[in-house]
Structure 1
Amino acid sequence: MTDWNATDLEKIAAAEELDLASERADGTLRHPVTMWMVRSGDHLYVRSVKGTDGPWYRGTRSRHQGRIDAGGIRTDVTFHAAGPGEYAGVDAAYRKKYGHYTSIVEHVLTAAARASTLRLEPR
Protein backbone atom coordinates (compact mmCIF):
# COMPACT_ATOMS: atom_id res chain seq x y z
CA MET A 1 0.00 0.00 0.00
CA THR A 2 1.26 3.47 -0.92
CA ASP A 3 0.37 6.45 1.24
CA TRP A 4 -0.97 9.71 -0.11
CA ASN A 5 1.13 12.85 -0.12
CA ALA A 6 -0.55 14.97 2.59
CA THR A 7 -1.05 17.96 0.27
CA ASP A 8 -2.60 15.87 -2.51
CA LEU A 9 -4.84 14.05 -0.02
CA GLU A 10 -6.17 17.34 1.34
CA LYS A 11 -6.76 18.86 -2.10
CA ILE A 12 -8.53 15.81 -3.47
CA ALA A 13 -10.64 15.31 -0.34
CA ALA A 14 -11.73 18.97 -0.37
CA ALA A 15 -13.11 18.68 -3.92
CA GLU A 16 -16.87 18.27 -4.24
CA GLU A 17 -16.51 15.60 -6.92
CA LEU A 18 -13.91 13.37 -8.50
CA ASP A 19 -13.49 12.19 -12.09
CA LEU A 20 -12.52 8.52 -12.26
CA ALA A 21 -11.32 6.70 -15.37
CA SER A 22 -10.57 3.01 -15.00
CA GLU A 23 -8.15 1.11 -17.21
CA ARG A 24 -9.38 -1.40 -19.71
CA ALA A 25 -7.68 -4.78 -20.06
CA ASP A 26 -5.51 -3.32 -22.85
CA GLY A 27 -4.28 -0.50 -20.57
CA THR A 28 -6.25 2.33 -22.19
CA LEU A 29 -8.45 4.53 -20.03
CA ARG A 30 -12.23 4.45 -20.14
CA HIS A 31 -14.12 7.74 -20.30
CA PRO A 32 -14.09 9.39 -16.87
CA VAL A 33 -17.14 9.24 -14.62
CA THR A 34 -17.86 12.07 -12.21
CA MET A 35 -18.75 10.93 -8.71
CA TRP A 36 -18.69 11.71 -5.03
CA MET A 37 -15.63 10.75 -3.02
CA VAL A 38 -14.81 10.96 0.67
CA ARG A 39 -11.84 10.87 2.96
CA SER A 40 -11.86 8.64 6.02
CA GLY A 41 -8.64 8.82 8.00
CA ASP A 42 -5.80 9.01 5.51
CA HIS A 43 -7.68 7.17 2.77
CA LEU A 44 -9.95 8.16 -0.11
CA TYR A 45 -13.05 6.16 -1.00
CA VAL A 46 -15.69 5.96 -3.72
CA ARG A 47 -18.90 3.94 -3.95
CA SER A 48 -21.31 2.99 -6.68
CA VAL A 49 -24.97 3.90 -6.05
CA LYS A 50 -25.82 0.81 -8.13
CA GLY A 51 -23.51 -1.39 -6.07
CA THR A 52 -21.27 -3.93 -7.73
CA ASP A 53 -23.59 -3.97 -10.77
CA GLY A 54 -22.78 -0.33 -11.57
CA PRO A 55 -21.06 0.05 -14.95
CA TRP A 56 -18.15 2.18 -13.73
CA TYR A 57 -17.58 -0.18 -10.78
CA ARG A 58 -17.46 -3.20 -13.09
CA GLY A 59 -14.91 -1.31 -15.18
CA THR A 60 -12.56 -1.06 -12.19
CA ARG A 61 -12.46 -4.85 -11.86
CA SER A 62 -10.48 -5.63 -15.04
CA ARG A 63 -7.12 -4.10 -14.04
CA HIS A 64 -7.87 -2.58 -10.61
CA GLN A 65 -6.24 0.68 -11.63
CA GLY A 66 -6.99 3.93 -13.35
CA ARG A 67 -6.73 7.69 -13.02
CA ILE A 68 -8.52 10.26 -10.89
CA ASP A 69 -8.82 14.00 -11.26
CA ALA A 70 -10.03 16.19 -8.38
CA GLY A 71 -8.97 19.33 -6.57
CA GLY A 72 -6.47 20.17 -9.29
CA ILE A 73 -4.71 16.83 -8.81
CA ARG A 74 -4.60 14.25 -11.61
CA THR A 75 -2.96 10.99 -10.58
CA ASP A 76 -2.90 7.29 -11.30
CA VAL A 77 -4.43 5.05 -8.66
CA THR A 78 -5.14 1.45 -7.76
CA PHE A 79 -8.60 0.35 -6.65
CA HIS A 80 -8.80 -1.82 -3.54
CA ALA A 81 -12.02 -3.34 -2.23
CA ALA A 82 -12.66 -1.89 1.21
CA GLY A 83 -13.53 -4.27 4.00
CA PRO A 84 -16.60 -4.16 6.24
CA GLY A 85 -14.45 -2.69 9.01
CA GLU A 86 -14.02 0.45 6.88
CA TYR A 87 -17.72 0.95 6.07
CA ALA A 88 -18.74 2.86 9.22
CA GLY A 89 -16.02 5.48 8.74
CA VAL A 90 -16.89 5.84 5.06
CA ASP A 91 -20.61 6.13 5.88
CA ALA A 92 -19.86 8.88 8.40
CA ALA A 93 -17.67 10.71 5.88
CA TYR A 94 -20.44 10.61 3.24
CA ARG A 95 -22.99 11.91 5.76
CA LYS A 96 -20.68 14.72 6.84
CA LYS A 97 -19.58 15.81 3.36
CA TYR A 98 -22.82 15.32 1.44
CA GLY A 99 -25.49 15.31 4.16
CA HIS A 100 -26.96 18.55 2.83
CA TYR A 101 -28.15 16.46 -0.14
CA THR A 102 -30.59 14.73 2.21
CA SER A 103 -32.57 12.68 -0.28
CA ILE A 104 -29.54 11.72 -2.37
CA VAL A 105 -26.87 10.81 0.18
CA GLU A 106 -28.90 7.84 1.44
CA HIS A 107 -28.27 6.12 -1.91
CA VAL A 108 -24.57 5.71 -1.10
CA LEU A 109 -25.38 4.33 2.36
CA THR A 110 -27.26 1.19 1.27
CA ALA A 111 -25.92 -2.34 1.68
CA ALA A 112 -25.46 -2.59 -2.10
CA ALA A 113 -23.46 0.65 -2.24
CA ARG A 114 -21.33 -0.40 0.75
CA ALA A 115 -20.41 -3.63 -1.06
CA SER A 116 -18.90 -1.52 -3.86
CA THR A 117 -16.70 0.62 -1.60
CA LEU A 118 -13.28 1.12 -3.16
CA ARG A 119 -10.25 2.57 -1.46
CA LEU A 120 -8.14 4.66 -3.84
CA GLU A 121 -4.38 4.41 -3.44
CA PRO A 122 -1.77 6.37 -5.40
CA ARG A 123 0.60 4.47 -7.68
Structure 2
Amino acid sequence: MTHWNDTDLTRAGAAEELDLESERADGTLRDRVTMWVVRVGDHLYVRSVKGTAGPWYRGTQSRRQGRVSAGGVRQDVTFRPADHDEYAAVDTAYREKYGRYPGIVEHVLTDRARESTLRLEPR
Protein backbone atom coordinates (compact mmCIF):
# COMPACT_ATOMS: atom_id res chain seq x y z
CA MET A 1 0.00 0.00 0.00
CA THR A 2 1.27 3.45 -0.94
CA HIS A 3 0.79 6.30 1.52
CA TRP A 4 -0.23 9.91 0.92
CA ASN A 5 2.57 12.44 1.17
CA ASP A 6 1.93 15.02 3.88
CA THR A 7 1.29 17.94 1.52
CA ASP A 8 -1.24 16.09 -0.66
CA LEU A 9 -2.98 14.56 2.36
CA THR A 10 -3.34 17.96 4.01
CA ARG A 11 -4.56 19.71 0.85
CA ALA A 12 -7.01 17.01 -0.24
CA GLY A 13 -8.27 16.45 3.31
CA ALA A 14 -8.97 20.16 3.80
CA ALA A 15 -10.79 20.54 0.48
CA GLU A 16 -14.51 21.21 0.73
CA GLU A 17 -15.24 18.71 -2.02
CA LEU A 18 -13.54 15.94 -3.95
CA ASP A 19 -14.06 14.89 -7.57
CA LEU A 20 -13.99 11.13 -8.11
CA GLU A 21 -13.67 9.24 -11.40
CA SER A 22 -13.81 5.45 -11.15
CA GLU A 23 -12.41 3.10 -13.77
CA ARG A 24 -14.62 0.93 -15.90
CA ALA A 25 -13.67 -2.69 -16.58
CA ASP A 26 -11.94 -1.54 -19.79
CA GLY A 27 -9.80 0.99 -17.87
CA THR A 28 -11.54 4.14 -19.10
CA LEU A 29 -12.75 6.65 -16.53
CA ARG A 30 -16.40 7.22 -15.73
CA ASP A 31 -17.80 10.73 -15.51
CA ARG A 32 -16.60 12.77 -12.55
CA VAL A 33 -18.77 12.87 -9.43
CA THR A 34 -18.36 15.56 -6.76
CA MET A 35 -18.69 14.62 -3.09
CA TRP A 36 -17.51 15.38 0.40
CA VAL A 37 -14.20 14.02 1.65
CA VAL A 38 -12.87 13.66 5.18
CA ARG A 39 -9.49 12.95 6.67
CA VAL A 40 -8.91 10.68 9.63
CA GLY A 41 -5.26 10.35 10.61
CA ASP A 42 -3.29 9.52 7.48
CA HIS A 43 -6.32 8.41 5.44
CA LEU A 44 -8.98 10.03 3.26
CA TYR A 45 -12.54 8.69 3.14
CA VAL A 46 -15.69 9.14 1.06
CA ARG A 47 -19.23 7.79 1.49
CA SER A 48 -22.30 7.44 -0.66
CA VAL A 49 -25.51 8.96 0.70
CA LYS A 50 -27.33 6.17 -1.14
CA GLY A 51 -25.07 3.52 0.37
CA THR A 52 -23.75 0.61 -1.68
CA ALA A 53 -26.70 1.02 -4.09
CA GLY A 54 -25.49 4.49 -5.10
CA PRO A 55 -24.46 4.71 -8.76
CA TRP A 56 -21.00 6.20 -8.18
CA TYR A 57 -20.28 3.67 -5.43
CA ARG A 58 -21.26 0.76 -7.70
CA GLY A 59 -18.93 2.22 -10.31
CA THR A 60 -15.99 1.94 -7.92
CA GLN A 61 -16.52 -1.79 -7.58
CA SER A 62 -15.59 -2.97 -11.10
CA ARG A 63 -11.85 -2.32 -10.80
CA ARG A 64 -11.67 -0.68 -7.36
CA GLN A 65 -9.48 2.07 -8.73
CA GLY A 66 -9.78 5.47 -10.30
CA ARG A 67 -8.71 9.08 -9.90
CA VAL A 68 -9.57 11.78 -7.40
CA SER A 69 -9.01 15.53 -7.42
CA ALA A 70 -9.30 17.80 -4.38
CA GLY A 71 -7.51 20.87 -3.08
CA GLY A 72 -5.31 21.06 -6.17
CA VAL A 73 -4.25 17.43 -5.77
CA ARG A 74 -4.92 14.95 -8.59
CA GLN A 75 -4.15 11.35 -7.68
CA ASP A 76 -4.78 7.84 -9.01
CA VAL A 77 -6.22 5.80 -6.15
CA THR A 78 -7.40 2.39 -5.06
CA PHE A 79 -10.83 2.26 -3.40
CA ARG A 80 -10.63 0.13 -0.24
CA PRO A 81 -13.71 -0.66 1.83
CA ALA A 82 -13.22 0.77 5.31
CA ASP A 83 -13.34 -1.60 8.25
CA HIS A 84 -16.33 -1.31 10.58
CA ASP A 85 -14.03 -0.15 13.37
CA GLU A 86 -13.18 2.93 11.25
CA TYR A 87 -16.80 4.11 10.96
CA ALA A 88 -17.00 6.00 14.26
CA ALA A 89 -13.91 8.11 13.51
CA VAL A 90 -15.19 8.82 9.99
CA ASP A 91 -18.58 9.83 11.45
CA THR A 92 -16.80 12.25 13.78
CA ALA A 93 -14.76 13.70 10.92
CA TYR A 94 -17.93 14.31 8.87
CA ARG A 95 -19.64 16.00 11.83
CA GLU A 96 -16.63 18.22 12.51
CA LYS A 97 -16.00 19.22 8.91
CA TYR A 98 -19.56 19.50 7.60
CA GLY A 99 -21.58 20.09 10.78
CA ARG A 100 -22.51 23.56 9.55
CA TYR A 101 -24.87 21.70 7.19
CA PRO A 102 -26.95 19.87 9.83
CA GLY A 103 -29.79 18.88 7.54
CA ILE A 104 -27.37 17.43 5.00
CA VAL A 105 -24.54 15.90 7.03
CA GLU A 106 -26.94 13.48 8.72
CA HIS A 107 -27.37 11.72 5.36
CA VAL A 108 -23.75 10.50 5.44
CA LEU A 109 -24.14 9.29 9.03
CA THR A 110 -26.77 6.61 8.40
CA ASP A 111 -26.07 2.89 8.55
CA ARG A 112 -26.69 2.71 4.80
CA ALA A 113 -24.05 5.38 4.10
CA ARG A 114 -21.57 3.86 6.58
CA GLU A 115 -21.61 0.57 4.65
CA SER A 116 -20.28 2.44 1.60
CA THR A 117 -17.30 4.03 3.37
CA LEU A 118 -14.26 3.87 1.12
CA ARG A 119 -10.67 4.62 2.07
CA LEU A 120 -8.79 6.32 -0.78
CA GLU A 121 -5.28 4.90 -1.14
CA PRO A 122 -2.85 6.52 -3.58
CA ARG A 123 -1.30 4.30 -6.22
| Deviations 1:76-109, CA, capped at 9 Å, x for gaps | 0000000110000000000000000000000000
Task: Show the counterpart of 2:120.
Answer: 120
CA distance in 2, matches of 1:14, 1:44: 10
Please say if 1:29 is aligned against 2:19: no
Task: Show the counterpart of 1:65.
Answer: 65
For normalisation by structure 1, the TM-score amounts to: 0.99
4+ residue segments displaced more than 6 Å: none
The alignment of Structure 1 onto Structure 2 pairs a total of residues equal to: 123
Identity of aligned residues (%): 74
Task: Show the counterpart of 2:78.
Answer: 78
Task: Show the counterpart of 1:88.
Answer: 88
1:2 Cα shift?
A: 1.3
CA distance in 1, matches of 2:67, 2:16: 17
Task: Show the counterpart of 2:3.
Answer: 3
| Deviations 1:46-81, CA, capped at 9 Å, x for gaps | 000000000000000000000001100111000000
CA distance in 1, matches of 2:104, 2:30: 26
- What SS does the aligned partner of 2:78 have? strand
Query: 2:117 is matched by which residue type in structure 1?
Result: T
- What SS does the aligned partner of 2:63 have? coil
Please give the root-mean-square deviation of Cα atoms over the aligned residues, in Å.
Answer: 0.4
- What SS does the aligned partner of 2:48 have? coil
Task: Show the counterpart of 1:50.
Answer: 50
Unaligned residue ranges in structure 2 (runs of 5+): none
1:23 Cα shift?
A: 0.1
For normalisation by structure 2, the TM-score amounts to: 0.99
1:45 Cα shift?
A: 0.1
CA distance in 2, matches of 1:82, 1:69: 20
Unaligned residue ranges in structure 1 (runs of 5+): none
CA distance in 1, matches of 2:14, 2:116: 22
CA distance in 2, matches of 1:93, 1:69: 19
